[in-house]
Structure 1
Amino acid sequence: MTFDTVLDQLRGGLIVSCQAPADSPLHDPVVIGAMAAAAVNQGAIAVRIDSPAHIAAVRDRVSVPIIGLWKQVIPDSEVYITPQLHHAQAVAEAGADVIAIDATKRPRPGGETLADLVQHIHDQLQKPVMADIDTLASAQAAVAAGVDILGTTLYGYTADTQQCEPPGFELLSNLIDQCSVPCICEGGIASPTAAQQALKLGASAVVVGTAITGIDILAQRYQAAIAHL
């Protein structure tokens, strides 16, 4: 797919994040692939998938765009979503159409700049980049670095936003008003009504994860609520 084709396909619909905790029985390529296929069968325009093994399994099941990432914990770094080029390369080789990266202003591992990473993904991997950001300032820096899509993914999950509760509708509105690339609302979308609100605010698409595919955390919440009655 060309950059423009992929970006056009990521407009106006539902993107389902199909992920599971590492210690869950659901954390299996076959299961993740089935989740993704089920979401696409019900109209999802794309899926968001973590790790090369899971991306490859999903690629075998669906033809819609895959937003791929690889969560990696690196010592002395808070950046964990596809932090370095070799992670992005593995994601691309597994079949992802878009590479999602941490684009916050936190120090990056290995000394590589955000602009360097984006340029390498464009030039070497020939893939568009989704910037997972937390603030308007990080979004503006990401656009300056050449990213193709913004996502509110890390709003509420960094030191600068730890007091904030997703979904980041105010941040989304600011991104739409002040940034020149498509903006995707991701994080904290817990109901169809919230998804509608994001699109009405001008989001190009909306990513829903836990509310659709988060069996572990949803079961845990229900159990915690009734355990002591």
Structure 2
Amino acid sequence: MNVFDQLAGGLVVSCQPLLDDPDDPMRDPYVQARVAAAVVRGGAVAVRANGTADVRAIRAAVDVPVIGLHKQGVDGVFITPTAAHALDVAAAGAHIVAVDATDRPRPDGRSFADTVRALRERTDALVLADVSTVEEGVAAVRAGADAVATTLAGYTPASSPTDGPDLTLLARLAGVLTVPVIAEGRYRSVEQIGAAFAAGAHAVVMGNAVTSPLWITRHLVPATPAGARLT
């Protein structure tokens, strides 16, 4: 069975500390592994994790597929930006490596296709292409991606921000691609999960809304009288 078959119709949970807060108390491989074990116990069909240390710790703690990546910086290509990063994530135990599949310049000067080729030649890991447009998704599949995710929708110059998930992009990708399309990006409710599957999602990824106490609290506090006084 292909690893992506194990994700079909399920919820993938992203277990990552906040990228924009280096002091997030959750930034610890042991902590992320415990969070991952909890979401798997709750029914998650896979876990998405950032960084080799977290990938190793989570891989040892759960018995579901691990989608690994390496975030570097916050601008441009920052999700597994080089082939070396992709190989490191695979070596750490990721079953699937998530890679930015946009056509933006990469730090190593290589293309997405080059990164896919490097993974094929040296690992057994599958490749998940994180994209922001239909054109990027089509190009990623041509380059050898095993699946495509809407992760970058609204976060690149080629895409427009949406209030919530980009269900239009999801539906368009699902309508033209022959590989699994994973819904990711600003999924925060049961209703949005249902809408994603109705739009053709193979699986849905949720992150901060499930696994980040810091993110959740920051979004709840403004609704309180004390929080309102701070704004």
TM over 0.5: yes
1:106 aligns with 2:104: yes
Counterpart residue identity of residue 62, structure 2: V
Aligned to 1:31: 31
CA shift at 1:162, angstroms?
4.0
Counterpart contact for 1:68–1:96, Cα < 8 Å: yes
Counterpart residue identity of residue 120, structure 2: H
Paired with 2:220 and 2:170, the residues of 1 have a C-alpha distance of 30
Query: 1:60 aligns to what SS in structure 2?
Result: helix
Q: Cα deviations across residues 156-190 of structure 1 (Å, max 9, x unaligned)?
A: 11112244334111101100111111100001111
Q: 1:220 aligns with which of 211, 218, 227?
A: 218
Change (3 A) 1:166 1:143: farther
Counterpart contact for 1:156–1:166, Cα < 8 Å: no
Counterpart contact for 2:101–2:140, Cα < 8 Å: yes
Aligned to 1:123: 121
Unaligned 5+ segments in structure 2 are: none
CA shift at 1:200, angstroms?
2.0
Unaligned 5+ segments in structure 1 are: none
Q: Which moved more, 1:90-99 or 1:159-168?
A: 159-168
**1:18-97 paired onto structure 2 within 5 Å:** 18-21=15-18, 22-73=22-73, 78-97=76-95
Aligned to 2:175: 177
Paired with 1:20 and 1:84, the residues of 2 have a C-alpha distance of 21
Paired with 2:57 and 2:203, the residues of 1 have a C-alpha distance of 24
Counterpart contact for 2:153–2:161, Cα < 8 Å: no
Paired with 2:204 and 2:35, the residues of 1 have a C-alpha distance of 17
Number of aligned pairs? 224
Q: Which moved more, 1:193-202 or 1:28-37?
A: 193-202
Pairwise CA RMSD of aligned residues? 1.5
Q: 2:12 aligns with which of 8, 12, 15?
A: 15
Query: 2:2 aligns to what SS in structure 1?
Result: helix
Counterpart contact for 1:15–1:46, Cα < 8 Å: yes
Counterpart contact for 1:29–1:54, Cα < 8 Å: yes
Q: 2:132 aligns with which of 134, 143, 156?
A: 134
CA shift at 1:39, angstroms?
0.5
Q: Cα deviations across residues 97-139 of structure 1 (Å, max 9, x unaligned)?
A: 0000001121222210111111111121121100000011111
Q: 2:2 aligns with which of 1, 5, 12?
A: 5
Q: Percent identity among equivalent residues? A: 42
Counterpart contact for 1:118–1:146, Cα < 8 Å: yes
Counterpart residue identity of residue 223, structure 1: V
Counterpart contact for 1:82–1:102, Cα < 8 Å: yes
Q: Cα deviations across residues 72-91 of structure 1 (Å, max 9, x unaligned)?
A: 139xx710101111111111
CA shift at 1:14, angstroms?
0.5
Counterpart residue identity of residue 9, structure 1: Q
Query: 1:161 aligns to what SS in structure 2?
Result: coil
Query: 2:228 aligns to what SS in structure 1?
Result: coil
Query: 2:78 aligns to what SS in structure 1?
Result: coil
Query: 1:155 aligns to what SS in structure 2?
Result: coil
Paired with 1:79 and 1:23, the residues of 2 have a C-alpha distance of 23
Q: Normalising by structure 1, report the TM-score.
A: 0.93
